[in-house]
């Protein structure tokens, strides 16, 4: 089922068992911020990006290495080399995604990011090392920036897809099929928002972090939050701006976000996550956040 009907999706949610698969990834992959700089094409529709003068490649590289070291405490974490030709490649989850037995290559909106999809090393890793079948979406016409646009409740096999210039409705249908989901809820992101995973996170299938200002219709944000209540965080504008919504659970017990996001998270909201059995871990990523994404954007999941 692919629908914009909140009531129908809610009914299905409440009758769906958390038996689709593991709630969190088996491993993670990253791409180093080699050649880290302002990508002017991406800046056209990413209001979170800083000016070129704010980019510090050396600091970004050190922070990214710290991120890999930190998350390796809970999951195997591998890192591919970056390239000066692909300055946004530090956010690989938009281009490469996984589901059991297969890997998916997304269609990026901007040409500078479409270059990432042709990397033989990452494709070869999934195809030849892990033995995954390929689902090729990068050569078709519809933008579908994978788990940037599509937030997935992996425990239930349910997707939340925010439509924007980075993902149209046809692209959402393609991703729904590629990930083999039971159902996907479609909604529009607010003007100026580019990716769903900046304004929504589903954590280990039992909690949600929602930034209502990122949704064109506040009722959509409220409807999603109600599905995970009482373990739903409704972010303030300050939390939203600090990338609290760009977080990820990499185990049953941990939720990871940037140090900036962790500092902005209110004590009451930290308690909501604690009541869901999730401990907040923060990693300094201010240099990488200049590129308009945060911790979750840096992490590709291997299921």
Assign residue 157 a region: left if phi > 0, alpha if psi is -120 to 50, beta otherwise?
left
Q: Taken in order 169, 163, 151, 19, is the CA torsion positive or negative?
A: negative
Compute the average pLDDT of residues 103-118. Answer: 92
pLDDT for position 47: 66
Look up residue 27 and give its two tokens: 């491993």
pLDDT for position 157: 98
Task: Report pLDDT digits (tens) over 39-49.
Answer: 555 545 666 65
Rounded CA separation 153/201 (Å): 9
Provide DSSP, 28-79.
EEEE--TT----HHHHTT-TTPPPGGG--HHHHHHHHHHHHHHHTTTS-EEE
pLDDT for position 43: 45
pLDDT for position 182: 98
Compute the average pLDDT of residues 15-24. Answer: 97
pLDDT for position 199: 98
Which residues are registered as beta bridge partners of 98? 103
Tell me the H-state helices in the chain.
6-14, 40-43, 57-71, 111-114, 120-124, 146-149, 169-179, 218-228, 237-241, 259-264, 267-275, 286-289, 295-298
* Edge-to-edge strand ranges of the sheet holding 279-283: 248-249, 254-258, 279-283
pLDDT for position 112: 81
**∠ Cα 181 103 224 (to 5°):** 35
* Structural domains of the chain in order of their starting residue, each with its CATH number: 2-302 (3.75.10.10)
Helix (DSSP H) and strand (DSSP E) numbers for the chain: 13, 16
Look up residue 284 and give its two tokens: 């300094």
Phi first, then psi: give them for residue 163, nearest 5 degrees.
-90, 140
Task: Report pLDDT digits (tens) over 59-72.
Answer: 999 999 999 999 99
Assign residue 302 a region: left if phi > 0, alpha if psi is -120 to 50, beta otherwise?
beta
> H or E segment at 5?
none
Percent of the chain exceeding pLDDT 90 equals 87
Task: Report pLDDT digits (tens) over 253-293.
Answer: 999 999 999 999 999 999 999 999 999 999 999 999 988 89
132's CB contacts (< 8 A; 6+ apart) are 98, 101, 102, 103, 126
Lowest average pLDDT, out of 42-56, 171-185, 195-209, 278-292, goes to 42-56
Rounded CA separation 233/105 (Å): 31
Assign residue 146 a region: left if phi > 0, alpha if psi is -120 to 50, beta otherwise?
left
């Amino acid at each position: 089922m692919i629908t914009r009907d909140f009531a129908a999706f809610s009914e299905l949610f409440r009758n769906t068992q958390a038996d689709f698969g593991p709630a969190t990834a088996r491993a993670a992959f990253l791409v180093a911020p080699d050649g880290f700089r302002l990508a002017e094409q991406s800046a056209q529709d990413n209001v979170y990006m800083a000016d070129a003068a704010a980019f510090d490649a050396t600091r970004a590289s050190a922070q990214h290495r710290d991120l890999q070291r930190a998350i390796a405490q809970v999951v195997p974490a591998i890192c591919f080399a970056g390239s000066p030709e692909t300055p946004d490649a530090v956010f690989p989850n938009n281009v490469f995604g996984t589901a059991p037995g297969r890997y998916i290559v997304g269609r990026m909106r901007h040409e500078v990011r479409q270059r990432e999809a042709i990397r033989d090393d990452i494709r070869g890793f999934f195809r030849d090392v892990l033995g995954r079948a390929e689902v090729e979406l990068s050569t078709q016409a519809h933008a579908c920036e994978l788990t940037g646009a599509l937030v997935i409740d992996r425990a239930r096999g349910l997707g939340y897809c925010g439509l924007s210039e980075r993902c149209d409705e046809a692209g959402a249908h393609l991703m729904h099929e590629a990930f083999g989901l039971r159902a996907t809820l479609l909604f529009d992101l607010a003007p100026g928002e580019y990716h769903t995973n900046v304004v929504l996170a589903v954590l280990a299938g039992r909690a949600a972090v929602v930034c209502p200002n990122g949704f064109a219709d506040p009722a959509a944000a409220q409807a999603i939050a109600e599905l995970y209540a009482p373990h739903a965080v409704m972010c303030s504008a300050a939390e939203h701006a600090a990338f609290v919504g760009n977080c990820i659970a990499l185990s049953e017990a941990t939720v990871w976000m940037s140090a900036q996001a962790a500092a902005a998270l209110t004590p009451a909201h930290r308690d909501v996550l604690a009541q869901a059995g999730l401990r907040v871990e923060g990693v300094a990523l201010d240099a990488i956040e200049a590129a308009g994404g945060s911790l979750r954007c840096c992490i590709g999941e291997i299921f």
